[in-house]
A and B are shown apart, each in its own frame.
Chain A
Amino acid sequence: MTVELATANGAGARHELTDAEIERLLAPKPAWTRADVRRSIAIAAVSSIVFVGAAAFLLGRSSGWEAVRAAFFSWPDFKAAFPKVLQGFALNFKIFMIAEPIILAIGLLLAVIRSGRSPVFFPARAAAITFIDIFRGAPSLLVVLTLGFGVPALRISGVPNTTVFWGSVAVILTSSAYQAEVFRAGIDSVHASQRAAARSLGLSNMQALRYVVLPQAVRRVIPPTLSGFVALQKETALISVLGPLEATRQAQIYASLNFNFTSYLVAGLLFIAFTIPLARFTDYLLARAAQRETVGGAV
């Protein structure tokens, strides 16, 4: 466009653009021309064929491929294992649905306690920090085993003694510690002047937190929180070590009864199918946040 104008006016002389030229300049341009699209598709197709072809060639040439295919990618076993594993996955989903709101509540509570500064709440703050340090530091599997096998043996009256219950508690405690740190990062990211403005209007410390700081903090940590959702959904598989018949456990049972591991593939695909929508939604929120923060920027 620029070159064209320059030659039309001789030796690239600068001149006031005419109305027609300005109109052409401002005319909406398609981001992609048809030629661009065709070229991209062609390149993607060629590279995919080369990549998949090379992978298939290497796999097919390996001596163990036939055995692996029979053990992991058997269609009849896939069909046979699917109903049981899906039934198990329903338990994972149920644990997720019950645990996540509790995790959000405990995480927020811990973060609020931890970000307080009043000396009155020193014991609460110390307890919150200890909690977070322990459950973020200890391997999840260890927490699941300890609570799942240890606590039911205590036979505490009034609480369920099932492994599902205590396994879920273990997962909730671990995830809450992580979620607390996510919320704390959000709270710390709200500038101190916001709190000062709220306090100068006569709002109490708690009111400033509730109406001014937390709404902004929570909004900022929605993407990492959704990431936590995805992680939690996977963590529910850890409960399988305690015995409850969730997806991983069902897959294990099928595998040991039939000497075929395709059931693991079924379980894996179910977890992935569940987490992909969450992952894409997180991407969407992150992209939207990035767009909002770079208003007017092209890069």
Chain B
Amino acid sequence: MSEPLLDVEGLYKAYGQHLVLRNVNLAVDRHEVVSLIGASGCGKSTLLRCINLLEEINAGQILLNGEPISAASPNADRVRQRIGLVFQSYNLFPHMSVLDNITLAPRKVRGEGRAASEGEARKLLARFGLADKADEFPDRLSGGQQQRVAIVRALALKPDLLLLDEVTSALDPEMVGEVLDIIRELKNVGMTMMLATHQMAFSRQISDRVAFLDAGRIVEIGPPEQIFDAPEQERTRHFLERVLSTAP
């Protein structure tokens, strides 16, 4: 058994006096899809932001390919190139065309030429049904299209790991499907992903493992059948009862 792609060990994260993550331990293998579920404020997003090194952690460590990445080091920028993060609110750059949004990092961070990176970007856009949007500006796109562009932007750096932070939460219901389809396709091609989500049905369908977080701890982690059909923990059962009883 080779080492996991991502290994989170004893992670603690606090904002001021408020402890948001407590002793989080989690390993993600290559080509694995792990989803994080739990009530708002349970620490899902914070965990993803910590893994992307957007937040400094207070204790513990994070390893990528066995290499510790969480210690303060000037290589954080290099690590982030290997870990893509897609945000709930898309966060596209409004002053750039779709093509420039996607090629900015390959050109400025990787030093790729404009022609090469734009060729790659157009190929990716075509694959996700966005070929005709390359020269549009973000505010001309629907929410679903913007989020798909945001995913393409993260993929342009060919990351080892893709983090998706509630990527459908800000979307109108009829646009959720097109974004979930992309995530399904990425699973099919073997992309390693961690996603924080409120979409229980989708999480069950796409995940190899599901982690339930409550008050900053991973309460229970296991295959979707275990978490959704036979949760071992009382708190997991309670959460799912509440969520599924109000689900459409």
Residues of B within 8 A of A216 (CB): 93-95
Please tell me which stretch of B82-90, B116-124, B185-193 contacts chain A, meaning at least 4 of its Cβ atoms lie within 8 angstroms of it: B82-90
Chain A stretch 186-245: residues in CB contact (< 8 A) with chain B: 193-194, 196-204, 207, 211-212, 215-216, 219
Known: A196-B54, A196-B87, A197-B87. A202 touches B93 (CB 8 A): no
- With contacts A197-B93, A199-B80 taken as known, whether A207 is within 8 angstroms of B85 at the C-beta atoms is no
- Report whether A202 and B80 are in contact in the complex, using a CB–CB cutoff of 8 Å: yes
Contact B54 A203 (CB under 8 A): no
Q: Is the CB of B157 within 8 A of A201?
A: yes
Inter-chain contacts of A199 with B (CB < 8 A): 54, 77, 80
Q: Please report whether the interface of chain A is mostly helix, strand, loop or mixed according to DSSP.
A: helix
Closest to A216 in B: B95
**Which of B89, B94, B95, B105 has a CB less than 8 Å from the CB of A201?**
B105
Task: Decide: A211 near B81, CB < 8 A? Known: A193-B89, A219-B95.
Answer: no
* 3 tightest A-B CB contacts, nearest first: A202-B81, A197-B91, A201-B105
Q: Are B105 and A194 in touch, CB under 8 angstroms? A: no
Question: A193, A194, A200, A201: which contacts B104 (Cβ < 8 A)?
Answer: A201
Taken together as a complex, chains A and B put the C-alpha atoms of A202 and B93 apart, in Å, by 15
Asked if B108 and A211 sit within 8 Å, CB to CB, the answer is yes
Query: Judging by beta carbons under 8 Å apart, are A207 and B95 in contact?
Result: no
B78 within 8 A of A: yes
* Contact for A203 among B84, B95, B108, CB less than 8 A: B108
**A211-B104, A211-B108 as given contacts; A200 in contact with B84, CB under 8 Å:** yes
| Contact between B87 and A203, CB atoms less than 8 A apart | no
Query: How many angstroms between the C-alpha atoms of A203 and B96 in the bound complex?
Result: 16
Residues of B in contact (CB 8 Å), total 22
B154 at the interface (CB under 8 A from A): yes
A215 CA / B96 CA spacing, docked (Å): 10
Segment 106-120 of B: residues with Cβ below 8 Å from A: 108-109
- Complex Cα distance A196/B94, Å? 14
Bound CA span A215–B81, Å = 23
Is A202 within 8 A of B109, CB to CB?
yes
In the complex, what residues of B have CB within 8 A of residue A193's CB?
A: 87, 89, 91
> Which residues 100-140 in A have Cβ within 8 Å of B in the complex?
none
> 21 pairs across A/B with beta carbons < 8 Å?
A193-B87, A193-B89, A196-B54, A197-B87, A198-B93, A199-B54, A200-B84, A201-B80, A201-B84, A201-B105, A201-B153, A201-B154, A201-B157, A202-B77, A202-B81, A203-B77, A203-B108, A211-B104, A212-B93, A216-B93, A216-B94
Smallest CB gap from A191: residue in B: B91
Contact in complex: A200, B108 (CB < 8 Å):
no
Complex contact A203–B93 (CB within 8 A)? no
Contact A201 B87 (CB under 8 A): no
Q: Is B52 an interface residue (CB 8 A)?
A: yes
Q: CA–CA, A203 to B95, complex, Å?
A: 17
